[in-house]
Chains A and B, each alone.
Chain A
Amino acid sequence: MSNGWPMRLLIVEDNVELAGLLAKGLKAAGYEADILSTIDEANTVLRTTFYAALILDLGLPDGDGLGLLREIRHRNIPMPVLVLTARGGLQDRVHGLRSGADDYLVKPFALEELIARLEAQLRRPGHLLGGVLRIANLEFDTGNRQASINGQPQLLSARETAVLELLMRSKGRVVSKKQVEDHIFGHSNDISSNAVEVYVHRLRKQLAEMEAKVQVHTIRGVGYLLAENK
């Protein structure tokens, strides 16, 4: 994934079997994962070792994983944390996110989903995963901000490039109109209400002309979603 070196992740999960299987799945996706099963061990190891991201189970034998999460945030370790929880209950979700998790998954989750979420975190500006985003025959190089189809570089305006990058970073997920707006124009207020629609419309047209096998779906009243053509 990055410069030939496998990225190191830390899994803190007390269920040895699940942890092993996750490590195996992540290895297949090009990551190297260490496994710890207590908060105590994790606290010690995190003092000396650098990890690209942490996959944290909430129910641990020596306490709640959220405690470790708070400790990490307190120590200002700039590491994305993906929380795993078996408590998909009505009171749990917001709770976990408020304590500083970057994302969470309720068990049982799809391995593919775990990896996608992880990469979304790692690709966020300031994080480790740079490189190329890919959907079907469409590629986007986050380094030089260049889109290409089937390896052929394509010419897009700055605004459309910005929209495309945002949509590709959030592959498979809905991006709200507001997010697109903030992304292209910053947080300025005097933007005509249909400016975003105009850019999305142009991007859609150009993607079609470029014969990209992707589609920008409009979720009316909510936002946009980029997905592979079926």
Chain B
Amino acid sequence: MPRFKSIISRIVILHVVAVAVTSILMSLALSWLLNYATNNIHNQAMKKQAIALAEHLEIQPDGKLKLSLTPDLQGLYSQPYGRYSYAVIDSQNRVVFSSLKDRVPLFPRDAKSGDVEFLQRNRGDATVSGASVKRVVGGQTVWVQAGEDLDNRDVLTDDIVAEFFRSVGWIILPILFILLVIDIAIFRRALKPLRQASQIAETIGPLRADIRLPTKEIPREVRPLVLAVNQALDRLEEGFRVQRDFTADAAHELRTPLSILRTRMETLEDQQVGKALLNDIEGMTRIINQLLDIAELDSFVIDPHEEADLRMVCTEVLEFLAPLALAQGKEVALVGTANSVLVRGNAEMLNRAIRNLAENAIRHTSPGSTVEFVVEENGTVSVLDDGPGISDEERDFIFQRFWRRDRGMAGSTGLGLPIVQRIAELHTATITLTNRKPRGACFSIKFARLSA
């Protein structure tokens, strides 16, 4: 069975096959009917001819039979014409009269036969078909046989059949074709709700797991499929919800004991012991935060109508990071447009993405350098540093979860860039990474700009 790409092509092909099969069957049926009809006509004609011949039979005073044919009948059975023949046979199976020179019976005689019989027999190359009529003339029983050479007749019948198809074919084929076109139109119409449902289905993603396919206009035959899809979506959404709940619970369960640990350390009498442990706690806190972020992002659903001011978000990130950067002897600066840049997206997520890029930049530069944030009117935000940059080989790895160049670096999780990437993905934003001259990296994210 061939595979079909679309229902319409399946319909067209099956329809063409059906038309072909129907045409063949119809021809066969028609030719059978025609044959049957011509046979019938032929048999009746032969019977009439035999009866006509019998009417010209008479018994003579000497008891012998006499056949006196009119000239037109003689012409009909004349040898040169060859189409019709007759024979008269008596009860002793002798041929009394015949239009044939060799004077043989046209058909074998059967004593038990009825008054009229239709028979067929091969004579040399020819096939003779005709009727045998039983008659009693002057007390003698005779069989009058009339036959027709079928080779002659067939020519005519074939002509009729061929002619029939030529004229009827012209009518039937266009009708079948029009039927095909109408069928296609009907099916396209019937499939319209499905096409609409597909368009809606296209918008379903982790971002819009709440959308369901409409069932109202859907044909009854397809409705179970649509319902099943909707139920699958319910389960999917439930899955997302379970993960979100889990992340929220995990956050609480992890952060609260960490908080106790930290506060206990800070309220210790002996501040010296606490110092080193506090560093460990900070590293651990960072790892937990990154893990919770990535887990939350895996099941995050953003409202497609949300908008954020990219410049404002950058300002918040800088305000947050500036004290930390200054404490390490590094500077941060916001350049680019001074206007607000409205983009489609969730402000907190944008904050998280930019913060991760900025933390990386600050971490990989030496004291005295400045990390620059550039916001452009077209919805692009870039973070530029003058650190070691990203080598070509590393490009393939940096966005992989848990990859980092230096595994020993405190608080390094290898989750920062995957978080950035996931956030970009959720916003259908693109990340570009370039190396700067003479050194340094530039990470850019381009978000969808909203016309203000």
Contacts and interface: CB of A to CB of B under 8 A. Distances in A.
Contact of A111 (B247, B251, B267, B285): B267
A219 B318 contact: yes
A110 B267 contact: no
Contact of B263 (A25, A172, A230): A25
Nearest to A225: B322
Contacts of B256: 15, 18, 86, 107
B258 A108 contact: yes
B262 A108 contact: yes
Nearest to A220: B333
B118 interface: no
Nearest to A22: B263
Interface in A47-106: 59, 86-91, 93-94, 106
B420 to A, nearest CB: 13
A87 B326 CA distance: 28
B251 A89 contact: yes
Contact of B266 (A90, A110, A174, A230): A110
Contact of A15 (B260, B327, B348): B260
Contacts of A176: 315, 319
Nearest to B295: A89
A225 B326 CA distance: 10
A90 B318 contact: no
A86 B334 contact: no
B4 to A, nearest CB: 46
Interface string A202-230: 00000000000000010111110101001
A149 to B, nearest CB: 22
Given A89-B247, A176-B315, A225-B323, A108 B259 contact: yes
The number of chain A residues touching the other chain, given as a range, is 35 or more
A44 to B, nearest CB: 25
A109 B289 CA distance: 12
A112 B266 CA distance: 9
Interface residues of B, number: 45
A59 B262 CA distance: 19
A173 interface: yes
B232 interface: no
Contacts of A86: 251-252, 254-256, 259
Nearest to A25: B267
Interface in B347-374: 347-349, 352, 373
B319 A227 contact: no
A107 B259 contact: yes
A28 interface: yes
B300 interface: yes
A17 B259 CA distance: 10
A136 interface: no
Given A18-B256, A86-B251, A88-B255, A227 B323 contact: yes
A221 B292 contact: no
Given A86-B252, A90-B349, A219-B332, A21 B319 contact: no
A227 B263 contact: no
Nearest to B346: A90
Nearest to A89: B296
Contacts of A110: 262, 266
B296 A18 contact: no
B260 A106 contact: no
B207 interface: no
B333 A221 contact: yes
B334 A222 contact: yes
Interface in B308-353: 315, 318-319, 322-323, 326-327, 329, 331-336, 338, 346-349, 352
Contact of B255 (A25, A106, A174): A106
A145 interface: no
Contacts of B292: 88-89
Given A25-B266, A90-B349, A111-B262, 11 more contacts: A18-B256, A87-B252, A88-B251, A90-B297, A90-B348, A108-B255, A108-B258, A109-B262, A219-B332, A220-B333, A225-B323
Interface of B: 247-248, 251-252, 254-256, 258-264, 266-267, 281, 285, 289, 292-293, 296-297, 300, 315, 318-319, 322-323, 326-327, 329, 331-336, 338, 346-349, 352, 373
> Which 5 residue pairs across A and B have the least CB separation, nearest first?
A221-B334, A220-B333, A108-B259, A107-B259, A174-B319
